[in-house]
Amino acid sequence: MKLVKTMAMAATFFLAACGTTPQENKEIIGKTTPTIENGRLTPETLWAMGRIGSVDVSPDNKKIVYSVSYYSVPQDKSNTELFVIDTDGNNNKQITNSPYSEHSAVWIKEGTKIAYLSSESGSSQIWEMNPDGTGKKQLSNYDNHIEGFSVAPDGKKILFISQVQTVKSTAEKHPDLPKATGVVVNDLMYKHWDEWVTTAPHPFIADFDGHSLSNIKDIMEGELYQSPMKPFGGIEQLAWNSTSDKVAYTSKKKVGKEYAESTNSDIYVYNLKLGTTQNITEGMMGYDINPQYSPDGKYIAWQSMEHDGYESDWNRLFVMNLETGEKQFISEGFKSNVDDFCWNAESTGFYFTGVWHARSHIYSLDLHSLELNKITEGDYDYASLALAGEQLIAKRHSLSAADEIYAVQLDGNVNQLTAENKHFYDHITMGKVEERWIKTTDGKEMLTWVIYPPFFDENKKYPTLLYCQGGPQSPVSQFWSVRWNLQLMAANDYIIVAPNRRGLPGFGLEWNEAISGDYGGQCMNDYFSAIDEVAKESYVDEDRLGCVGASFGGFSVYWLAGHHDKRFKAFIAHDGIFNMEMQYLETEEMFFANWDMGGAYWEKDNATAQRTFANSPHLFVDKWDTPILCIHGEKDYRILANQGMAAFNAAVLRGVPAELLIYPDENHWVLKPQNGVLWQRTFFNWLDRWLK
């Protein structure tokens, strides 16, 4: 579409005064000193952990600049700081210490300076400093926030992202009604994700003399389109060529209903010398995103999906020869998505990350022979890539640890560079993570993770939770989450069953695509297969089974509540679809609804659509007999909050014990620290009430 018992605080925040600032909050939110109780992970500990963000390697491949975000539950705020470390893991140093959230740092001026974004001047602007954090200087003074930037290879220009207004405000249309709040809408895509759409991000190019920016130009001036594409696109959707005279950018040049029904984005190349723009992926009908020029300037690569309207299509790596114009699909040998990629130094191939069998690893791919090799192993997910000479710099996490930065040799040897959260892990016992292959009702084998409580005793009986994944086509891999953290659930003495049910990548194309148009079908049987098999274990109390999930996982919970045949004793659904007919008309990206539901509910001759809507959870409320907690955010414009409220109301009217946690200020996720801790306390209070 892309959690706890009330207990004593598990971590105490160390907040240092930073002197007088123009900001209301004059305290720095930084690394914490934890106080761990009973060796168990808690929500407070999760929120106290540092979160590693952007990573950039110096031109000489000897140093890395990276960001870490810290959160304060008492202040209900976050802050981001910058660090520098050698690529061999030595000399790790924090180089910023302020309340201004310095981030998006890159090396410039042949590695003698670091450029970054900061709000120190009141709006987000580009700054520079020495690699030791001294000599801070503001480079840009643009009249709007800068959201991302990239310096040209020759260092003489800067590409940056900023919002432009695309819709006049009510006050602009009616100057005599300055207090009117109504908005007149005449087309679709008036809302998206968590905002009313009034602006679009555009790419800007500016001359850079080493001291300041000048001659700023919007290369999409006058266009209503987005580049990068909301809600998640950033500077990775734009790229300089090797000679600094062209910029490739990603855009879906559509608006309104046409935008809502299509995923057909393209790669456009803007020629700085001529002021012209060329669409190099015209006729390629799905998402085309994230261009990267080869170091030798002879090729451009990007990620491409084939079908218009299918946002979870096979994400393929394409390459275009810039001299001949020939395009080639080069990742066909990898039957899963290319999630992140970078060129090798010789422009002869790539390194990329992709998920296979619920683990995301690093692979190499030769441009000419198409030879594919797996570089890394283990129960991990690698999440980003940067080339550093003869090695790769990557972030890595697992079900038991948050992101850290690693140096990966091309022979597969791995060296951990950062230990941002070691002071937590040293005092926490994580539960055992076990891989199981479970036979499904149609005779297939399904990988299922089982996570056991810390200090597990096989002679005891434990309440057990079925975890239902969202997406719907997001892998149940070695993911780490601050909210849906399976180790946190295990720390509260639950066994967790997390199946890679039908409709997830990493098990071949057929498995991934089996969910579209079949929401109430085999994927639900897969859930039953997983929980029924694990429930046979002597240490699982089959009379204390729960079921939890968000987004499509929330839909799954609502659907299972009407079909579970008394398996479960408690349900929790977050941001789930309850009434599919209303969802079809309420959501904003219609391409998703059309592809996954098969069409509109009024298409009576459309068998797929009719099967979909006949499986709407709201049609089976008469079978609901189990306590249910419904959670939703009112700024969720993907699945509107009335879905959660309707499910709660239905349960109450049916006489089923129910509770509703509603957030007026959260979207499809829960992002604020205190709201996050409230979420987790409510989550476990509900489970403990019915399963313990």
Positions annotated as catalytic residues are 551, 636, 668
- Residue of 344, 247, 231, 229 lying closest to 288 (CA atoms): 229
Radius of gyration of the chain (CA): 25
* Cα–Cα distance, 440 to 514 (Å, whole number): 14
Q: How many CB atoms lie within 10 A of CB 423?
A: 16
- Residue of 531, 533, 536 lying closest to 547 (CA atoms): 531
User: Taking a C-beta distance cutoff of 8 angstroms, is the pair 391, 404 a contact?
Assistant: no
Instruction: For residue 531, give the 3-state DSSP assignment.
Output: helix
Phi, psi of 434, deg, nearest 5: -120, 135
State the pairing for strand pair 495-499/462-468.
Answer: parallel
Q: Can you read off the two tokens belonging to residue 11?
A: 């971590």
* Cα–Cα distance, 380 to 384 (Å, whole number): 13
CA 498 and chain centroid, separation? 19
- Residue of 466, 515, 450, 470 lying closest to 626 (CA atoms): 466
State the pairing for strand pair 77-86/63-72.
Answer: antiparallel
Task: Please list the helix, strand and coil fractions of the chain in percent, rounded to the nearest 5, in that order.
Answer: 15, 35, 50
Beta bridge partners, 394, equal: 406
Sheet hosting strand 246-251, strand order edge to edge: 238-240, 246-251, 266-271, 276-279
Task: Check whether the bond before 475 is cis (ω within 30° of 0).
Answer: no
* Cα–Cα distance, 35 to 117 (Å, whole number): 33
- Residue of 591, 651, 598 lying closest to 624 (CA atoms): 651
